[in-house]
Amino acid sequence: QVQVVESGGGLVQAGGSLNLSCTVSGLTFDDFAMGWFRQAPGKEREGVSCVSWSGLNSVYADSVKGRFTISRDNNANTLYLQMNSLKPQDTGMYYCAAAASNGISCDLEVDYMDYWGKGTLVTISS
């Protein structure tokens, strides 16, 4: 049984930082591209960042480029998202997701992902 579990969310002031983690079990982690998605109240889920199975290639949404950094540790079956210079518009539920892929890159599309976690809440106060 595949399990995807996010952690690290919380309440921080604008300009602050958070580091999200996602641990995965029940699959061969380095057979999967990984991604972070978020959903604000009343809005559709959107892609934030993804990373290839190797960790060598990543994609970022324009809204987070230069502020967020995605990384993965294939030995620990863990995905990370370092979020700096946080803004109130970064508020939302953050989801970790996995997509079966041995490609050189990744796809930041909701429909591309095979497995999802339940999310961790990030709230940025102004």
| 56-98 pLDDT per residue, tens | 999 999 999 999 999 999 999 999 999 999 999 999 999 999 9
Mean pLDDT of 24-32: 96
Burial 29-52 (b: 16+ CB within 10 A, else e): bbebbbbbbbeeeeeebebbbbbb
